[in-house]
Chains A and B, each alone.
Chain A
Amino acid sequence: MADDKDVLRDVWFGRIPTSFTLNQDEVTEREAEPYYLLLPRVSYLTLVTDKVKKHFLKVMRAEDVEEMWFEYEGTPLKWHYPIGVLFDLHASNTVLPWSITVHFKNFPDSDLLHCPSSSVVEAHFMSSIKEADALKHKSQVVNDMQKKDHKQLWMGLQNDKFDQFWAMNRKLMEYPTEEGGFRYIPFRIYQTMSDRPFIQRLFRPVSPEGNVHTLGDLMKEMDPAALPNDGEPKRYQVVIHGIEPLLETPLQWLSEHLSHPDNFLHICESHNPPSPVLSSVYISTPPTTTPPLLLSEDLFIGREG
């Protein structure tokens, strides 16, 4: 890999092999075969599972079908998190393919947002992009775009068109040379062991003294416990897109290259090394509160607690 553009490509074309199994409680006319699919890490569950739905509907009666939702080892999967985040957060230790259970009944309203159509995903995706640009450029770039440019970003994601998406997203990744980076880095830190959905606060790519902030600086500031003290073994893994970047990686570079299409850097923090015993704790984790659909209202408020 000679060029950082290859990173963009690798991030975009990341796929998780998944097997979808129908929940045993669902009433079926005949036995449902599992359905296998390569899910794009950067997309959203409800956006890429039309085939899954179609597959299982074939064995079900129409009256038994309500809104489809997904669960992994007892945890309802939030469709508004990118698929890669869900995987890294809940299933990073699983044997592949990732086995997801499909439900058509008993929608867990307290855990999940409803997603009646892809336009809801679009609204969520675009609001994330706008929120990210508010942090990066005081919304200047995204506001300068036309409606069709927004559409291009969305269509790029929806149709898995890397070139189409990046032709436009490029603009969102620019910054004035002399400032050395974005105003603030749009990031979210997810913790497997925490009740709160994620940490999001204001954080600049460059310190007031002009030093470049690294991933380690961010983690130290947001969750000091995540970093090992001197001599201690690593207690947590800091995972982005299924990989563990070194803590000295510049945050600005990460934001430009390892952000999801929604322009946020989604960082998953989990125990290291995760033991099977610990992983069973995930299941007993109480359901978390659901964030509102549109996040842009409370842009600059940390979302902890």
Chain B
Amino acid sequence: MPASRLWVVDVYGRVFSLSTAGQQWEQCRDAQMEFKRVTAAQQCCWGIACDNNVYLNVHASDLPIRYQEETYENQRWNPIGGFSDHLLPSDRWQWSDITGLKHQPLDSFELPSSSWEWEGDWYVDENFEGEPTEKEGWTYAIDFPAFYTKNKKMTSCVRRRRWLRYRRYKDMDTWAKIPSPQMETPDPFSDISCGGWEISEEPRGRLSLWAVSLLGKVWFRVGIYHHNPEGSMWEEVSVPGEVLQISCGPGDLVWAVLWEGQLIVRQGITRDCSKGTSWVEVESPSPDVGATHVAVGINTVWALTKDNKVWFRRGVDSHNPCGLGWISMVGEMITINVGLNDQVFAIGCEDRAVYFRQGVTTSELSGKTWKAISVPRDGDRSHSSASTNSLQSAGCFFSGEVRAQSVVSDVELDTEKVSTDGASCLVTSTSPESVVDAPTDNPDQPIETPKPRIPKVTSDSFISELISDREPAKTLREGGSAGPAVPEEEETLPSEGEVKALCADVAICPSQSGGPLDPQWSNVDLEEAQGQLAQTGAALDAADTSSLSSVATYTLAMEDPYGTDEHPLWAWVSGGGCSVDSHSHLNWFNSVNTSSLVGSVQSMSLSVTSAQTAAWRQQIFEQLTERTKREMDNFKHYEQAIEQSVWVKKGTMQWWRDWKPYKWIDVHFALEQFSGPEGNKDGILFIYYNFYEEKKYLHAFVNELTILVPVLNESKHTFAIYTPERTKQRFPIRLAAATELEMHDWLALLSVSCCHSRGIQGPPSKQAIWSITCKGDIFVSEPSPALEAMPYPTPCDQMFWRQVGGHLRMVECNTVGIVWGIGYDHTAWVYTGGYGGGFFQGLASSTDNIYTQTDVKSVYIYENQRWNPLEGFTNRGLPTDRYMWSDASGLHECTKTNMKPPSTQWTWVSDWAIDYSVSGGTDKEGWQYAADFPVSYHGRKGKTDFVRRKRWSRKCKLTTTGPWQEIPPIALSDVTILPCTAQSNVDEVPLWAISNKGDVLCRLGVTALTPAGSSWLHVGTDQPFKSISIGAASQVWAIARDGSAFYRGSVSPQSPAGDCWYHIPSPSKQKLRQVSVGRTSVLTVDENGNLWYRQGVTPSYPQGSSWEHISNNVRKVSVGPLDQVWIIADKVQGSHSLSCGTVCHRLGVQPVEPKGILWDYGIGGGWDHITVRGNSMEPPRVRLPSLTDASAPAPRSPIPFRNMEVNSSAGDS
């Protein structure tokens, strides 16, 4: 999970954020002014500053926000001057948009705000529908508006060309003011809330932003999406009363609180109408006490009432946004906020700490308990350095004991302060209005630094409003209760709206907000401190203050505006950008419960990691190898002292029997293992079955098994076992275990057994071939030099594959062991060098380098309807029709209730929702129409359309473990890594990727030691891309979404991103889908499954000259650093059955015959992806040592401490 952030504002208006991976509050240093409120989404944070303007902070990303402006230049032919600017009066503008209706000359384009900048000047787009145009980008037509072609014909009377210019949003990671013309919003905003990103994915990055003005009006920001992060304008939304506060969830929930204390719920929010249509009123949770605050998530609503009680709304979902009733919860809070995954954050009313609601899950949305987030702020330097203990002892932040012990009389403390300050702090002079703190510098209590200035922001009504009713006429008072801090005094500036924070710890004493001196709020838990009021009053004496401030003032830590033991006093929290869920491991509570961590134990890994390279470790490895040689190598013929018994594991399973009719039958299953002298195991697998009352068995030698594959099956726990023979037949031994656990036990055992019998252990080698099944399981195979041998390579049905933990959609590797994967949810993962994970336990899994991995994918079902003259479209089909609820093929019935996640590993994480992003488009309700099932569907109903369908999707999530670490935050759709040749000592390895939005990216800082790299470099393109590959000589090829190919010029170590794209037309009438580049070969696959070879590629002309067809029936190609060609074939016929998705190896590939001769079929049936780009093992004569040998140290000890020859006499006595 990528680190995301929780945003907070403290009572002084300073904005902080806390990373889910972090352990301290980081101040948003950029903020020049104080903020009142913030509301965060994952990509940005909005805020209202104390100047009452709205500010936007777009989080920097390696992907810039670029917007492509385009305009068309139109010309008409006339007999005299040829094509010219002279158009007919009825024609379009000479400069227009694509429709011709809008006049837009080049100079009419302006930057939307000062946050944007132009990337370059206007230029002509010379590509047209994936192909280059001939002259200056002109496309021709008979007349406007008509079809354009790139070729000029006799009938071409008009022409046009497209001009492009990019602008870029530049104010990343800084607060940029949103310009707000007065007529839009007459009165300043007092509340703001963003959300709505789950309503629709189009346009990308769309957000709903709601705001409340001081007069209680509600406003909606129109047009916020990725390419227009600022939105375009405010629109007023009429409300039935004066609104106090509003909350917008990630989905379609929007609730607001009225000044009178009731709540209103927005109705009619849909993907077409994100603003909603009307309000419905909901009563306050408590009849006497009005609501003051509301917070909504996806399926959850929380509210606060004036008495600070917390309420949870029962029964809220998208069908019933109003819910059913209120439930009172424990805790007293002043602010509450719902973040992602319906997680809840709140600010305590007493201690002003941020609380996280623990135990919130989809099934238990109300959670279990409040837990205070207790981490230091990044400014608390003196704090942490001065006394780690105090931090640790904590809980200490907010515990009653600490307070009690530190209640000391002011006088004492004052004197103490003076003395200690004088002794230990740097004393400087101070301005009269400075605030004096009470730094007590004794060892037990952390140093305290003075507060340098009086915060303005707290005086604003936005904070006090929450409590103003509660403490109507409290006099100014201070809490002597907290920490060693004494109330120090500050001189209140005479200007209105300023506040003094009196006590370092608890009491915040806001002053008059436009009224008489009326401290509107202070802490409720200070009732017992009333007695000190008098003292406080005294302390407020100006004389006293000045005398104090002349002595003790700013310390060195002046730029740190915090007292060290001062609790952070928070005013506002927003979790909208904070992705945590009930499984997240957060380090936010550490200082509270160190003792509870004792239970966590960690074996070995610590020493492993720290000791990885130490000399002593090397020495032990070398000497053990030496010892083995000395004591065992010459005596292998000796008998073992302990006989290796046969070890049998038995079980019952179901077996997909070998003869027709195929069906599952109950069998007994047994694995007999023998251990060899080296500890290697070998074994035989037996399947005992009944054949017409006769007992029979089937067996397989473990050392002949080539792969064990978990099979996708929603009801049974099945796996398949292949041998070379069964790979040829495309008919594995298929087995089903009773439970998932049982299956995993067997798979782990069999897998370990297979690896033992082949002497394979530890992580995959750098040369390993990686592949992925349609289930997302990851397999590796260790290539031998014979694999690419000529003329007799190892048949690829004999390759042994073993599973690696994790779940991926694709994986790419290179020759130095850098491996990247991409999940179904487009998350990028880097291989950590470990092995095991998933169901591999204990010794079959490395102790470190295994991490939790999650993946999310959507399950689709279709609702089908047929038209009849009486009722129109209904769910009553013809008898011959498909199921009215079905899968894509229509052959299987799939209803919302009977549809299960793809396997037991997956769990639903969302509800069924209409999917509008179907190819062909949909109407407003998500329907697609067609003349009949099954034909091509389109989004608008035509006259001849008698059937329609609607696609529903539901997300499910898988959690597993494996040797993978996430590379946030950009979602990828393709990645490629330079296959380094054995000789080349490339330090930084070029790695290119395509984001799932089609941006081309180049990863910086990738080396064999840091395979994750450091940051992305964005490479500009004129259109989205979908596939990319880099060859051994840094030649970068890519495929654009329109199906054409591009070659990137001048890519070199000096210029890792190259300089420009060269357009390469696709093979005629084909749209390319994927590209792979080896040493010199460039191969592509088109959308019809054809495999193409780029002819005529030379070092001087790397773009090549033409495409040559190699084969059809290809889904994916991987070209390795030896120019070896491997594919996933679409369909392969075996002797028993057909398999779809089969690994195939091109035989006969040679420098003179780079296209090869024929295919050799390997493992198959459900394979999605393969990469051979790590295998640079040259086939020639020299046999490379096997992998296990290669990793062993040289068997040479520097000081042999025992010498057999010399001491030979010792044995004779």
Return chain B residues, CB-CB under 8 Å to A39: 641
Taking a contact as CB atoms under 8 Å apart, the answer to whether B1213 and A280 are in contact is yes
Return chain B residues, CB-CB under 8 Å to A160: 640, 642, 644, 675
Taking a contact as CB atoms under 8 Å apart, the answer to whether B638 and A37 are in contact is yes
Taking a contact as CB atoms under 8 Å apart, the answer to whether B621 and A7 are in contact is yes
Q: Mark B605-643, 1 if CB is under 8 A from A, else 0.
A: 011100100011101110111111011101100111110
Return chain A residues, CB-CB under 8 Å to B1207: 93-95, 274, 276
Task: Kindly state whether residue B1210 has any CB partner on chain A within 8 Å.
Answer: yes
Q: How far is the CA of A280 from the CA of B1211 in the complex (A)?
A: 10
The segment from A60-68, A127-135, A194-202, A239-247 that touches chain B is A239-247
Choose among A38, A257, A272, A274 the residue with the greatest number of B CB atoms under 10 Å from its CB. Answer: A38
Task: Kindly state whether residue A123 has any CB partner on chain B within 8 Å.
Answer: no
Taking a contact as CB atoms under 8 Å apart, the answer to whether A2 and B627 are in contact is no
A162 to chain B, nearest CB (A): 6
Q: How far is the CA of A274 from the CA of B630 in the complex (A)?
A: 18
A269 to chain B, nearest CB (A): 13
Which residue of A40, A237, A243, A244 contacts B641 across the interface (Cβ within 8 Å)?
A40
Taking a contact as CB atoms under 8 Å apart, the answer to whether A95 and B627 are in contact is no
Task: Kindly state whether residue B598 has any CB partner on chain A within 8 Å.
Answer: yes
| Count of inter-chain pairs, beta carbons less than 8 A | 183
Q: How far is the CA of A9 from the CA of B634 in the complex (A)?
A: 20
Task: Kindly state whether residue B1152 has any CB partner on chain A within 8 Å.
Answer: no
Task: Kindly state whether residue B762 has any CB partner on chain A within 8 Å.
Answer: yes
Q: How far is the CA of A220 from the CA of B561 in the complex (A)?
A: 52
Q: How far is the CA of A243 from the CA of B677 in the complex (A)?
A: 22
Task: Kindly state whether residue B678 has any CB partner on chain A within 8 Å.
Answer: yes
Taking a contact as CB atoms under 8 Å apart, the answer to whether B1208 and A95 are in contact is yes
Taking a contact as CB atoms under 8 Å apart, the answer to whether A10 and B624 are in contact is yes
Taking a contact as CB atoms under 8 Å apart, the answer to whether A17 and B638 are in contact is yes
Task: Kindly state whether residue A173 has any CB partner on chain B within 8 Å.
Answer: yes
B158 to chain A, nearest CB (A): 69
The segment from A142-150, A174-182, A183-191, A293-301 that touches chain B is A174-182
Return chain B residues, CB-CB under 8 Å to A13: 678-679
Which parts of A1-45 form the interface with B (CB within 8 Å)? Answer: 1-7, 9-17, 36-40, 43
When A174-B602, A248-B616 are in contact, do A49 and B1204 touch as well, CB less than 8 Å?
no
Q: Mark B1093-1134, 1 if CB is under 8 A from A, else 0.
A: 000000000000000000000000000000000000000000
Taking a contact as CB atoms under 8 Å apart, the answer to whether B624 and A243 are in contact is yes
A266 to chain B, nearest CB (A): 15
Return chain A residues, CB-CB under 8 Å to B847: 4-5
Taking a contact as CB atoms under 8 Å apart, the answer to whether B631 and A15 are in contact is yes
Interface residues on A, range: 35 or more
Q: How far is the CA of A160 from the CA of B617 in the complex (A)?
A: 26
Task: Kindly state whether residue A59 has any CB partner on chain B within 8 Å.
Answer: no
When A17-B631, A38-B635 are in contact, do A167 and B842 touch as well, CB less than 8 Å?
yes
Return chain B residues, CB-CB under 8 Å to A9: 679
A267 to chain B, nearest CB (A): 14
Task: Kindly state whether residue B132 has any CB partner on chain A within 8 Å.
Answer: no
Which residue of A37, A99, A170 contacts B1211 across the interface (Cβ within 8 Å)?
A99
A128 to chain B, nearest CB (A): 19
Taking a contact as CB atoms under 8 Å apart, the answer to whether A175 and B601 are in contact is yes
Taking a contact as CB atoms under 8 Å apart, the answer to whether A95 and B1191 are in contact is no
Return chain A residues, CB-CB under 8 Å to B611: 4, 250, 253
Q: How far is the CA of A250 from the CA of B638 in the complex (A)?
A: 36
Return chain A residues, CB-CB under 8 Å to B763: 2-3
Taking a contact as CB atoms under 8 Å apart, the answer to whether A92 and B603 are in contact is no
Chain A: CB-nearest residue to B1205: A95
Task: Kindly state whether residue A222 has any CB partner on chain B within 8 Å.
Answer: no
When A3-B846, A167-B842, A177-B606 are in contact, do A249 and B1191 touch as well, CB less than 8 Å?
no
Taking a contact as CB atoms under 8 Å apart, the answer to whether A245 and B616 are in contact is yes
Return chain A residues, CB-CB under 8 Å to B597: 178
Return chain B residues, CB-CB under 8 Å to A249: 616-617, 619-620
Q: How far is the CA of A257 from the CA of B617 in the complex (A)?
A: 11
Choose among A1, A173, A176, A250 the residue with the greatest number of B CB atoms under 10 Å from its CB. Answer: A1
When A1-B1193, A37-B641, A48-B641 are in contact, do A16 and B631 touch as well, CB less than 8 Å?
yes
Q: How far is the CA of A94 from the CA of B762 in the complex (A)?
A: 35
Task: Kindly state whether residue A104 has any CB partner on chain B within 8 Å.
Answer: no
When A37-B641, A177-B606 are in contact, do A242 and B598 touch as well, CB less than 8 Å?
no
Which parts of A178-228 form the interface with B (CB within 8 Å)? Answer: 178, 180
Return chain A residues, CB-CB under 8 Å to B624: 1, 7, 10-11, 241, 243
Taking a contact as CB atoms under 8 Å apart, the answer to whether B1201 and A272 are in contact is yes
Q: How far is the CA of A99 from the CA of B626 in the complex (A)?
A: 21
Taking a contact as CB atoms under 8 Å apart, the answer to whether A173 and B627 are in contact is no
Task: Kindly state whether residue B843 has any CB partner on chain A within 8 Å.
Answer: yes
Chain B: CB-nearest residue to A49: B641
Chain A: CB-nearest residue to B1204: A95
Task: Kindly state whether residue A97 has any CB partner on chain B within 8 Å.
Answer: yes
Task: Kindly state whether residue A51 has any CB partner on chain B within 8 Å.
Answer: yes
Task: Kindly state whether residue B645 has any CB partner on chain A within 8 Å.
Answer: yes
Chain B: CB-nearest residue to A177: B602
Which parts of A91-149 form the interface with B (CB within 8 Å)? Answer: 92-97, 99
A259 to chain B, nearest CB (A): 12
When A36-B638, A163-B843 are in contact, do A244 and B1192 touch as well, CB less than 8 Å?
no
Taking a contact as CB atoms under 8 Å apart, the answer to whether A94 and B1211 are in contact is yes
Task: Kindly state whether residue A288 has any CB partner on chain B within 8 Å.
Answer: no
Task: Kindly state whether residue A290 has any CB partner on chain B within 8 Å.
Answer: no
Return chain A residues, CB-CB under 8 Å to B1201: 237, 239, 244, 272-273
When A175-B603, A244-B1201 are in contact, do A93 and B623 touch as well, CB less than 8 Å?
no
Task: Kindly state whether residue A73 has any CB partner on chain B within 8 Å.
Answer: yes
When A48-B642, A256-B604 are in contact, do A95 and B1210 touch as well, CB less than 8 Å?
yes
When A38-B641, A178-B597, A276-B1209 are in contact, do A4 and B631 touch as well, CB less than 8 Å?
no
Q: How far is the CA of A289 from the CA of B645 in the complex (A)?
A: 38
Which residue of A167, A177, A272 contacts B600 across the interface (Cβ within 8 Å)?
A177
B723 to chain A, nearest CB (A): 24
Return chain B residues, CB-CB under 8 Å to A285: none
Return chain B residues, CB-CB under 8 Å to A161: 647, 675
Return chain A residues, CB-CB under 8 Å to B619: 245-246, 249
Chain A: CB-nearest residue to B835: A3
Taking a contact as CB atoms under 8 Å apart, the answer to whether A241 and B627 are in contact is yes
Choose among A14, A73, A242, A258 the residue with the greatest number of B CB atoms under 10 Å from its CB. Answer: A242
Task: Kindly state whether residue B135 has any CB partner on chain A within 8 Å.
Answer: no
B609 to chain A, nearest CB (A): 10
Taking a contact as CB atoms under 8 Å apart, the answer to whether B627 and A14 are in contact is yes
B839 to chain A, nearest CB (A): 15
Q: How far is the CA of A96 from the CA of B1202 in the complex (A)?
A: 12
Return chain A residues, CB-CB under 8 Å to B620: 7, 243, 245, 249, 257-258
Taking a contact as CB atoms under 8 Å apart, the answer to whether A4 and B604 are in contact is yes
Task: Kindly state whether residue A252 has any CB partner on chain B within 8 Å.
Answer: yes
When A93-B1202, A99-B1211 are in contact, do A2 and B638 touch as well, CB less than 8 Å?
no
Taking a contact as CB atoms under 8 Å apart, the answer to whether B843 and A177 are in contact is no
Task: Kindly state whether residue A166 has any CB partner on chain B within 8 Å.
Answer: yes
What 16 additional pairs, Cβ within 8 angstroms, besides A9-B679, A48-B642? A1-B624, A2-B762, A5-B762, A6-B621, A12-B679, A37-B638, A37-B641, A38-B635, A38-B641, A43-B641, A94-B1210, A96-B1204, A241-B624, A250-B616, A253-B607, A279-B1213
Cβ-closest 9 pairs across A and B: A17-B635, A243-B623, A48-B641, A249-B616, A246-B616, A174-B603, A160-B642, A177-B602, A93-B1207
Jot down 29 A-B pairs with beta carbons below 8 A, ordered by A. Answer: A1-B1191, A2-B763, A3-B608, A4-B611, A6-B621, A11-B624, A15-B635, A15-B640, A17-B631, A37-B641, A48-B642, A73-B1213, A96-B635, A97-B638, A160-B640, A167-B843, A173-B604, A174-B601, A176-B600, A176-B601, A176-B602, A178-B597, A244-B1199, A246-B619, A248-B615, A249-B617, A249-B619, A272-B1201, A283-B1213
Point out residues on B near A: beta carbons under 8 Å.
Answer: 597-604, 606-608, 611, 615-617, 619-621, 623-628, 630-632, 634-635, 638-642, 644-645, 647, 675, 677-679, 752, 762-763, 842-843, 846-847, 1191-1193, 1199, 1201-1202, 1204, 1207-1211, 1213
